[in-house]
Structure 1
Amino acid sequence: MRETEFDQPQRQTPGGSRGGEPGSVWLREESARSRPAPLSRARIVDAAVTLLDQHGIDGLTMRRLAQSLDVTSTALYWHVKTKEDVLDLAVDHVFGDVPFPEPTDDWRADARALVRDWRAVMLRHPWSPGLIGRPMLGPNVLARTEYLQSALVRGGFTDLRLAVATRLLANYVIGAALTEATWRLVEGSAVRATARQLIAASPDAYPTLNASGHLDATRWGDDELFERGLDAILAMEP
């Protein structure tokens, strides 16, 4: 099945433009023109998330998406302009599954709860971490970033320290989820075990990696490594 131009990612900078319009779906106003019923943007995004969970980013095409909705690709164009729009909407949609912890007097516990659930949601949708370098301006993403920063502000962070702490936590959870999701995709072929054997077979070249148990999943699991890393980050002072 050949992809159409509509399926292919558009070349643009994160804040760039196509045809004189802002590049991100979040920076464009929705068209007020009449749209064919019963199709809606919400239905499109729900179907897209299902396809992404099943087939990953490369497996999502506008033609396949239209077929899953029993509409034509042209009908999709009334609601989304490109596949990139769909991806942006899908990422924000799954962020809506990250619950808001009830704020407490312990800012570290609040930040931990949010970040822990953020990781869990990304691992349930393993395609999502790889997309989070895109413009993150959707309402679900912004609301959860607001919660995270409000917890940090209650911890005494301001100005540059607040920006640094926000980025540190966000980059940590995204990077951890991306790494774990990638490993999980190849675990069936025992790639991690093979990688560990490669290191163990060269103790002179990698003495520290051998001593530290690098890539040895039998020593520490992903959950423990994630929690210990989060401990280290949240030990920071404003």
Structure 2
Amino acid sequence: MSAKPSGDKRKKTLENAPGAVWFRAEKTSRTRPQLSHERIIATAVELLDRDGVQKLSMRRLAERLGAHATSLYWHVATKDDVLDLALDAVFAELDLPDEHSASWQGDVEAFMTGLRSVLLRHPWAAALAGSRPLLGPHALRSSEFAYTALATGGFDGVHLSSAAATITHYVIGSASSEAVWRKRSDEAATRSAVDAHLRAHIDEYPTLAGHFPLLEEDDWDAHFHRGMRLLLTGLTSSEARG
């Protein structure tokens, strides 16, 4: 049996985990730092949009900023800090109404379509959003909007949490899948090859072979909205609502 990590080791692990940046005390200094928080985040988003998560490093970010790594580490302790901050900057682009409408379903739809839009604007963001706690102020603001809409619709307690998770996971999962497919220059050819493979093995996969979606590029929106309508229909008729 492996020994349990000590308290200090557990604390250090948590301090360096995804999402930890939101719990660290803000640093103060008598001298003005060379870099601004805003510039670091904007540059990180730019690099992520261009190269993706795997190619982002603290060294590359510092080089792009034209700064010494020491200046960068004054603001952010780890690459995960950078990713958390960049992801929350994406959520800042989510344009939600200042006031809720008379229709909780309409508010949920606004949340889902808006979130999908900003995640697709930054193809790395959806997969990253599914890999870490979303605790930044902009992500929490969007969650507050969705939770309030669902609470207005009669959801409460664990049912409210499950409903919120359902709509959020659908958006993140579908946007992540779409971003991966759209990145392929041969999307249509790949889908045709998959379809041919399934038909060649129709005895093993009869349902898949008969229903594999050969989506054209312009079908992604319709595909997403069909799924969203199914979710909203299920939520509207759910016995979990008060």
Asked if TM exceeds 0.5, the reply is yes
Residues 35 and 79 in structure 1, CA contact (< 8 A), matched pair in contact too: no
The one-letter amino acid paired with 1:136 is: L
Aligned to 2:159: 161
Residues 148 and 166 in structure 1, CA contact (< 8 A), matched pair in contact too: yes
Question: Are 1:195 and 2:189 matched, yes or no?
Answer: no
Aligned to 1:92: 88
Question: Are 1:105 and 2:102 matched, yes or no?
Answer: yes
Residues 126 and 181 in structure 1, CA contact (< 8 A), matched pair in contact too: yes
CA distance in 2, matches of 1:152, 1:108: 8
Matches within 5 A, 1:109-188: 109-132=106-129, 133-188=131-186
Instruction: Spell out structure 1 runs of 4+ moving beyond 4 A.
Output: none
Q: Which has the higher helix share?
A: 2
Aligned to 2:12: 18
Change over 3 Å in CA distance of 1:137–1:218 after alignment to 2: closer
- Indicate the SS of the match to 2:112: helix
Aligned length: 222
Residues 22 and 136 in structure 2, CA contact (< 8 A), matched pair in contact too: yes
Structure 1 stretch displaced more, 85-94 or 27-36: 27-36
Deviations 1:67-98 (A, max 9, x none): 11110112101100011100000000100001
- Indicate the SS of the match to 2:93: coil
% identity of equivalent residues? 40
Shift of 1:220: 8.7
CA distance in 2, matches of 1:158, 1:45: 36
- For structure 2, list consecutive stretches of 5 or more residues without a partner in the other structure: 1-9
Deviations 1:27-59 (A, max 9, x none): 111212346544111110000000000000011
Aligned to 2:4: none
Aligned to 1:45: 41
The one-letter amino acid paired with 1:79 is: H
TM-score, normalised via structure 1 length: 0.86
Deviations 1:189-228 (A, max 9, x none): 632332222212322222111221x131149922112111
CA distance in 1, matches of 2:96, 2:31: 34
- For structure 1, list consecutive stretches of 5 or more residues without a partner in the other structure: 1-15
CA distance in 2, matches of 1:30, 1:158: 35
Q: CA RMSD in A?
A: 2.0
Residues 95 and 114 in structure 2, CA contact (< 8 A), matched pair in contact too: yes
